[in-house]
Amino acid sequence: MKYEEYEELAALLAAPTTPLMGAALRGLPPKTLDTLATVVDQAAEQGWRQVVADRVRVFADEQPGDGPQAVAAYFTTTEQRTGSGMSVGWSPFIAALTSTEDVPDLRHTETTARPVPVGEAAEAEEDFADPKLSEALHRLAAFDPPAHADVLRVHLPTSRVTRMTP
């Protein structure tokens, strides 16, 4: 395929409700539709992982100092209130930025927890978090919901984003 054909296909897939795409999708057998849905989900998840890696790289490049370059960034989980109750997602703030391959100790420590009002949490995220990174982390959590103790690792040299369970 030529580049122009990829662009045309991408535009068609981005608008699956157009008459042409609707007709094409209706003509596919159910097994093919299921396979297509799975491939699309995998591609979307990979795309959001790339957004996370790109935004973390931008953040790491903006850090002051002449020391070693960052190798990895880590995100911990946070509880989020939704209309359907509580869910666990990725915090939009980097928990650690390391210059080595060694994984830092990111275990939860014993602290006194205080509930943060929803408005206050949303304000903090709006004021201090990278909106593109925040959205990508929320989307990744929707694809693959983390458990409370999980850690998300972003390896900058390879742009690999992996969920780790200590």
User: Quick check: 97 and 68 in contact, CB under 8 A?
Assistant: no
Measured distance CA(41)–CA(125) in Å, rounded = 27
Q: Which residue has the higher pLDDT, 90 or 41?
A: 90
**5-64 pLDDT per residue, tens:** 667 766 666 676 778 777 777 788 888 888 888 888 888 899 899 999 999 999 999 888
Closest CA to 132 of 73, 42, 59, 77: 59
Cβ atoms < 10 Å from Cβ of 4? 8
Whether the per-residue pLDDT at 113 is higher than 60: the answer is no
**For residue 161, what is the enclosing H or E element?**
strand 160-164
Q: Which amino acid is at 139?
A: R
Rounded alpha-carbon distances, angstroms, from residue 98 to 52, 86, 105, 151: 16, 31, 11, 14
The pTM is what?
0.73
> Mean pLDDT throughout 137-150?
92
